[in-house]
């Protein structure tokens, strides 16, 4: 009896040693060190703005470029100076009556110079510098946006590797358990030596996989260290909560990215800077006019002993008739620079278009895969439990149980990888649409001057004779998602022709032909015709409960063709349109921002369609907020959000003279701000439509 207990104890110790031989986390010396502070992704991203060297470098570049504006503006101000001299002067000639004079000479002068006209050169130079400052501001956002994405991916990857390491540890322990039981059976004469060797080889592989997974987690830790500048314990990281607010329209998401991605703004302001540089070059063909006030004093100059004083107020006009072709060459150089930056904008838009669609495709595919992988894990778990029961009944061997255990481990690993691939794809979409910059309050926009102090510049849209609609469709290239459509072709509202896209997902087939045909099956043309009952239920096709249903087949009429469907058209009077439009709307915006989300597009487009049926009207767009935060901030935010709706309607073709937008902040709540539901309803956009002598 004692020997039996000793053997059992030895086996338990052996299993424990096999399973924990390669543990990743070293034991802690003190109990207090086991308490770890959670480290959220949000807190890390906020920290990066003040600590990441890539972001700080971009901010410093903005600051240095901003001071150039003060340097250029100095040309608007006068130059005041003085000039003094003293020394020995020898004069021999007419000035000294042919006598040799050796006198100590001293001079002093003071002057003030002011440029009166330079052909607009200074104005254009200031605007060129402002455009360059705006470019560096958005470049800082672009750099931060890329760093945020890289950090988010590395943060999520570290959590993923942590979960995979746990699976690898569990797998080693399970393999050791099964090996111990196979070893018992083999030693008692009921097992096969080949099964024992097979189990030992699988345990060795599980150990090797554990070491690989430990390395993967260490590599993930190193990558995150590069972003934040210090090592963190993997157990500190917490899975971020994510709420998808982008909607399901890919084209609308791309359009949103065109308006908000910082690299697009960088390209736009680079083009503008080169336009102002060209205008500055053109000013060189005009004269310059300067005024000067001057007072001079001279003693013993020109061989004459005594003092000489002079005073002057002069106007100077300078004009170059010929400069060897320098101005012409500079003008051509600057125009070529405009064309270069113009092409760069096309490159950025195409890169953006590709990146959004690639990230979106991964996001959609991973979301749909995840449902099936969840079912795969659950069915594997049920199968494993069934194998264990069948083993107890003698219907399964330990080796078969080991095979099923390995299958279950692979299913869990695939599920973890899919879960994090889905999360990463979400953050890539947030990055490429520019939302990631505004998802957390980082104060970055203020640091690069993109709050209320942003420069207002004439965008010179018609200057430079640039082609902004190369394929001559109904969408300008700035918002054209297919900027090289067939010339003069009919395109949709996003500039693309209607091309059938590949559907991602799985639908239940109408019929399923058996993999192995029954011997008594009746065949017709090498196909087996099955009754409805032979198809079984949805589980036989491996579908999750929430899977998409197959597309319905159109009902047939008496002739056998598809039933004709007619779109009903309702005639709506102008008064009915007023009643439909004049109300409050809940329009989604980015948190604490006036940026519209893609899901808002369809609602605003619907409003624009209704307005297009009217001729004389006035539309008021009024922004409202709840009472959370400062009243001054809420007032500005409500006005900015109303202006965003205004801009969207103008972009959709509504006459800007017929619309007015303003904000009322928290001053006119419709519901109580004491409840969460009331505050949500008070955050709204109100439309008031007034008809002006509307005639039929």
pLDDT, tens digit, for every residue of 192-231?
888 889 889 999 999 999 999 999 999 999 999 999 999 9
Check: CB of residue 131 under 8 Å from CB of residue 66. Answer: no
Conformational region of residue 693, where left means phi above 0, alpha means psi within -120 to 50, and beta covers everything else: left
Q: Using CA atoms, how far apart are residues 247 and 423, in angstroms rounded to an integer?
A: 16
Instruction: Please indicate whether residue 135 or residue 458 has the higher confidence score (pLDDT).
Output: 135
Question: Above 50 in pLDDT, residue 547?
Answer: no
* Beta strand extents in 282-354 (DSSP E only): 288-299, 307-318
pLDDT at site 551:
34
* Segment 415-441, tens digit of pLDDT: 999 999 999 999 999 999 999 998 887
Task: Give the residue extent of every domain in the chain.
Answer: 50-457, 507-553, 574-691
- Residue 409, judged by CB atoms within 10 A of its CB (0-12, 13-18, 19+), counts as buried
Q: Using CA atoms, how far apart are residues 625 and 640, in angstroms rounded to an integer?
A: 11
Which residues on neighbouring strands pair with residue 307, listed in sequence order? 299
Percent of the residues in the chain that have a pLDDT greater than 90, as a whole number: 46
Question: Above 60 in pLDDT, residue 19?
Answer: no
Which residues on neighbouring strands pair with residue 292, listed in sequence order? 113, 314
Contacts of 469-477 with C-beta under 8 Å, sequence gap 24+, read 471/495, 477/346, 477/349
Conformational region of residue 238, where left means phi above 0, alpha means psi within -120 to 50, and beta covers everything else: beta
Class of domain 574-691: alpha beta
pLDDT at site 11:
56
* Segment 442-476, tens digit of pLDDT: 889 999 988 766 678 888 888 877 888 888 888 88
- Mean pLDDT score, 62-78: 93
Instruction: Please indicate whether residue 651 or residue 97 has the higher confidence score (pLDDT).
Output: 651
pLDDT at site 571:
36
- Give the β-pairing of 527-528 and 523-524: antiparallel
* Segment 276-334, tens digit of pLDDT: 999 999 999 999 999 999 999 998 887 778 898 999 999 999 999 999 999 999 999 99
Instruction: Please indicate whether residue 87 or residue 441 has the higher confidence score (pLDDT).
Output: 87
pLDDT at site 653:
85
Of 634, 648, 617, nearest to 684 by C-alpha is 634
Q: Which of 8-12, 28-32, 336-340 has the lowest mean pLDDT?
A: 28-32
Q: Which of 148-157, 330-339, 349-358, 647-656 has the lowest mean pLDDT?
A: 647-656
* Segment 618-633, tens digit of pLDDT: 889 999 988 887 888 8
Q: What angle do CA 192, 197, 201 make, to 5 degrees?
A: 150
Q: Which of 286-300, 338-352, 533-547, 584-598 has the lowest mean pLDDT?
A: 533-547
- Mean pLDDT score, 143-165: 96
pLDDT at site 578:
65
Question: Above 90 in pLDDT, residue 570?
Answer: no
CATH number (3.60.20.10, 1.20.1600.10, 1.10.3720.10, 1.10.1060.10) of 50-457 reads: 1.20.1600.10
* Segment 653-685, tens digit of pLDDT: 888 888 999 999 888 888 888 887 888 888 888
Residue 25: which pLDDT band, with cuts at 50, 70 and 90? very low
In terms of average pLDDT, the best of 17-21, 565-569, 634-638 is 634-638
Given CA atoms 593, 594, 598, 603 in this order, what sign does their dihedral have? positive
- Mean pLDDT score, 491-503: 81
pLDDT at site 287:
95
Block residue for tokens 């007419």 = 94
- Give the β-pairing of 617-624 and 659-663: parallel
Instruction: Please indicate whether residue 112 or residue 602 has the higher confidence score (pLDDT).
Output: 112
- Total-model pTM: 0.71
Contacts of 452 (CB under 8 A, 6+ apart): 636
Given CA atoms 458, 463, 468, 473 in this order, what sign does their dihedral have? positive
Check: CB of residue 530 under 8 Å from CB of residue 515. Answer: no
pLDDT at site 520:
53
pLDDT at site 693:
66
Q: Using CA atoms, how far apart are residues 557 and 570, in angstroms rounded to an integer?
A: 26
- Mean pLDDT score, 356-376: 92
Residue 94: which pLDDT band, with cuts at 50, 70 and 90? low
Q: What is the mean pLDDT of the chain?
A: 82
pLDDT at site 101:
75
Question: Above 80 in pLDDT, residue 692?
Answer: no
Percent of the residues in the chain that have a pLDDT greater than 70, as a whole number: 82
pLDDT at site 118:
93
Residue 95: which pLDDT band, with cuts at 50, 70 and 90? low
Q: Using CA atoms, how far apart are residues 348 and 270, in angstroms rounded to an integer?
A: 12
Question: Above 50 in pLDDT, residue 535?
Answer: no
- Mean pLDDT score, 548-556: 33
Q: Which of 139-143, 216-220, 386-390, 690-694 has the lowest mean pLDDT?
A: 690-694
Contacts of 518 (CB under 8 A, 6+ apart): none
- Mean pLDDT score, 376-386: 93
Question: Above 50 in pLDDT, residue 105?
Answer: yes
Residue 584: which pLDDT band, with cuts at 50, 70 and 90? low
């Amino acid at each position: 009896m004692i020997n039996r207990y000793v053997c059992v104890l030895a086996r338990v110790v052996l299993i424990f040693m096999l399973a924990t031989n390669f543990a990743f986390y070293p034991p802690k010396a003190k109990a207090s060190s086991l308490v770890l502070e959670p480290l959220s992704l949000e807190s890390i991203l906020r920290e990066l703005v003040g600590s990441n060297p890539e972001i700080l470098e971009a901010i410093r570049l903005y600051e240095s470029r901003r001071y150039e504006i003060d340097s250029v503006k100095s040309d608007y101000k006068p130059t005041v100076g003085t000039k003094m001299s003293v020394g020995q002067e020898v004069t021999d000639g007419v000035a000294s009556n042919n006598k040799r004079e050796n006198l100590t000479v001293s001079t002093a002068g003071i002057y003030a110079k002011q440029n009166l006209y330079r052909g607009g050169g200074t104005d254009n130079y200031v605007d060129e510098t402002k455009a360059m400052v705006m470019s560096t501001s958005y470049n800082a956002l672009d750099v931060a946006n890329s760093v945020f994405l890289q950090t988010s991916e590395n943060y999520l990857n570290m959590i993923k590797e942590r979960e995979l390491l746990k699976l690898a540890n569990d797998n080693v322990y399970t393999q050791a358990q099964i090996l111990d039981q196979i070893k018992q059976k083999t030693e008692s004469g009921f097992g096969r030596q080949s099964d024992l060797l097979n189990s030992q080889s699988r345990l060795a592989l599980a150990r090797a996989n554990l070491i690989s997974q430990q390395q993967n987690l260490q590599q993930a830790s190193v990558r995150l260290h590069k972003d934040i500048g210090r090592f963190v314990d993997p157990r500190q990281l917490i899975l971020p909560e994510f709420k998808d607010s982008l909607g399901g329209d890919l084209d609308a998401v791309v359009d949103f990215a065109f308006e908000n991605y910082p690299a697009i703004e960088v390209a736009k302001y680079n083009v503008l800077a080169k336009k102002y540089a060209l205008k500055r070059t053109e000013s060189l063909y005009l004269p310059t006019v300067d005024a000067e006030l001057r007072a001079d004093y001279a003693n013993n100059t020109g061989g004459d002993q005594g003092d000489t004083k002079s005073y002057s107020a002069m106007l100077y006009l300078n004009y170059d008739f010929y400069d060897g072709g320098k101005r012409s060459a500079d003008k051509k150089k600057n125009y070529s620079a405009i064309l270069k930056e113009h092409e760069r904008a096309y490159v950025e838009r195409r890169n953006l278009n590709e990146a959004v669609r690639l990230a979106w495709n991964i996001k959609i595919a991973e979301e749909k895969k995840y449902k099936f992988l969840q079912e795969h894990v659950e069915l594997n778990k049920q199968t494993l439990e069934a194998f264990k029961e069948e083993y107890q009944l003698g219907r399964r061997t330990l080796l078969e149980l080991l095979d099923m255990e390995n299958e279950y481990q692979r299913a869990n690993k695939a599920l973890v990888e899919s879960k994090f691939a889905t999360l990463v794809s979400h953050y890539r979409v947030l990055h490429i649409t520019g939302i990631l910059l505004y998802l957390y309050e980082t104060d970055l926009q203020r640091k690069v001057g993109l709050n209320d102090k942003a420069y207002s510049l004439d965008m010179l849209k018609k200057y430079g004779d640039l082609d902004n609609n190369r394929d001559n469709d109904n969408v300008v290239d700035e918002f054209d998602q297919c900027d090289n459509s067939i010339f003069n072709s009919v395109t949709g509202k996003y500039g693309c022709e209607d091309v059938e896209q590949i559907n991602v997902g799985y639908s239940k087939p109408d019929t399923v032909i058996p993999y192995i045909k029954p011997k008594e099956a009746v065949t017709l043309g090498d196909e087996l015709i099955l009754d409805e009952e032979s198809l079984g239920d949805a589980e036989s096709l491996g579908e999750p409960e929430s899977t998409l249903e197959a597309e319905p087949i159109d009902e047939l009429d008496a002739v056998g063709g598809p039933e004709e469907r007619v779109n009903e058209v309702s005639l709506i009077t102008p008064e009915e349109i007023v009643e439909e439009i004049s109300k409050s709307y809940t329009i989604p915006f980015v948190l604490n921002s006036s940026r519209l989300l893609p899901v808002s597009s369809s609602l605003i487009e619907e409003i624009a369609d209704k307005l297009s049926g009217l001729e004389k009207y006035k539309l008021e767009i009024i922004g409202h907020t709840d009472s959370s935060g400062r009243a001054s901030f809420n007032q500005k935010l409500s006005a900015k959000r109303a202006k965003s709706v205004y801009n969207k309607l103008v972009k959709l073709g509504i006459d800007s003279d017929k619309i007015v937008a303003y904000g009322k902040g928290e001053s006119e709540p419709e519901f109580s701000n004491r409840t969460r539901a009331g505050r949500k309803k008070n955050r709204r956009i109100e439309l008031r439509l007034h008809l002006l002598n509307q005639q039929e």
